[in-house]
Amino acid sequence: MHKKLAESTALDPAGLPVGQKIFRVPGGRFSGRTVALIQTSPTQIKLSYSDSPFAVWSSPYEVISDTADDAFDTRMDNAGNLYIAYVEQTTGNLAFKKLTYADGVWTAGSRILVYDGGSSSAPSLGIESSGKLWVSWSLSAAPNRYIQVKSSSDDGATWGTGPADPGTQLTTGDVIAYSKLLITSDRVHVVATYNSQSIVKRSLPIGGGPWSDEEVIATTTQTFGVDFDAAVSDDGRIAVVFNNPYFTYREYDGVNWGAIVPMADIVGQSPQVLFRGGIPVVIYLENWAGAQKIQMYTDRRSGQFTTPVPLDNRAKKFERVLVYNQAAATIVDITGAAANAATGDMLHPATSCLLRDQGDQLYLGMGKQFRYLQVLLSTLGTGGTVVLSYWDGANWRAFTPSNGAVDFGATPARVILWDDYVSIPPDWQKKSVNGYYLFWVKAEVNSAFTNGPVGTQVTSISEITKAIFRR
């Protein structure tokens, strides 16, 4: 399922990788209902929900109107209630709001201050099995930031001794400080990046006692920042993913930290880790050509992590790319040229252009239906017009992409064929073109180019900036 929920003017609508925004109702009449929280503007957080098969979502409605343009975090309890920690827009204070769940919908309660000293950022929430709430966050006291932590034993009505209480300081100061709060059966844990070059863990017994000394998970000569995550398994193991300097995994078994395991020879962006059936699963974004980012995943079901593969098998390189020249009446397979990043190698030899004259055609094919094109050009097209179409089982059916007509006059040419997978035409069918039976989008020159475009790469990989997964 791929569904467009909303457009956003917020700086970072998805928030930080450590944050959680998507949940499923755990039981009752609407068991399995999925809810997503989105920052749709610099001051608003909205909520939308859907039931299986998740093709239709409710119109997003406002639950918070005074948030800063900063990351927020959310947790759901066993009754389906949602708890949100966020930063107030005008004050920089740390705030909290409970969204009470009843009869399939969520109703926002009153705003409660967690800390009224301002300069707060990047909260992370946790809930003990008893219902006790915890929050860690980054507190600025120029020129440094510190990780603080507080708790509430009355469902968020009071935090610590009150709003003036800054909580417990867990780290010494540095210009970078982010945290992830985790709860196991017997301890509260905070994993933090700070001192620019350290990622550490401290913990507190749930029954009471002092916070532990720092356990160093890793150090680096680079900089640890926001691109890390941590998760707890049902049996109490803790997994952490981070870049050091490339994408890396480390696991804590409750007593000792295991070896640092390289995941990929790249910098993983928006990394997230979760356990499914006791197996660690890791999802992240990997840079592709230009500004493209591809969602990748790997898991350890076989005892070691598998080679990462695309999470969305419709957002990747095309399985077949063909170019047809009308005058020469020949079709050329440029699949390899379309996949690599070599400059200016996507062309038909008859014209040395990708497309030029009326009737010239570009075919983009995949075994599954896709919704997006990213076209990198070495030479921009001028003066021509192009019509896109798909095969409906009997004819090529012309359509206008969701974000407007395509003229190959800009690079990258970002073409949103349809807003989401749900919007893909139901009559789009596979067709055999040059012996390849695939779903095709055809780009055909309607009026000739003065100067034909020359291509470098075309994929169905979009420019994702952040991703948050349900976990």
Q: How, if at all, do strands 133-141 and 120-127 pair?
A: antiparallel
CA 419, CA 401: separation in Å to the nearest integer?
A: 9
Question: How many residues are given for the chain?
Answer: 471
CA 303, CA 305: separation in Å to the nearest integer?
A: 7
Q: Within 10 A of 125 (CB to CB), how many other CB atoms are there?
A: 22
Instruction: State the pLDDT at residue 15.
Output: 85
CB 351 within 8 A of CB 359: no
The amino acid present at 390, given as its one-letter code, is: Y
- Provide long-range contacts, Cβ within 8 A and 24+ apart, for 161-167: 163/93, 163/113, 163/114, 163/115, 163/116, 164/115, 164/116, 164/117, 165/115, 166/115, 166/117, 166/139, 167/115
Instruction: State the pLDDT at residue 224.
Output: 81
Contacts of 74 (CB under 8 A, 6+ apart): 19, 20, 21, 23, 37, 82, 83, 84, 85, 125
CA 148, CA 190: separation in Å to the nearest integer?
A: 10
Show the low-confidence residues of the chain (pLDDT under 70).
1-3, 290
Query: Taking the mean position of all CA atoms in its chain, how far away is CA 279?
Result: 21
Q: Write down the residue that tokens 């928006």 correspond to.
A: 270
**For the whole prediction, is pTM greater than 0.75?**
yes
Tell me the pLDDT tens digit for each residue of 253-306: 999 999 999 988 888 889 999 999 999 999 999 988 767 888 999 999 999 999
CB 52 within 8 A of CB 33: no
Nearest to 443 by CA among 388, 382, 366: 388
DSSP notation for 139-178: EEETTEEEEEEEEESSTTS--TT-TT---EE-S--BS-EE
Instruction: State the pLDDT at residue 175.
Output: 86
Instruction: State the pLDDT at residue 463.
Output: 75
Instruction: State the pLDDT at residue 451.
Output: 96
Instruction: State the pLDDT at residue 1.
Output: 55
Instruction: State the pLDDT at residue 398.
Output: 98
Burial class of residue 234 (count of CB atoms within 10 Å of its CB; 0-12, 13-18, 19+): exposed
Nearest to 322 by CA among 429, 443, 408: 443
Four-residue CA torsion sign, 157, 19, 131, 216: negative
Burial class of residue 266 (count of CB atoms within 10 Å of its CB; 0-12, 13-18, 19+): middle
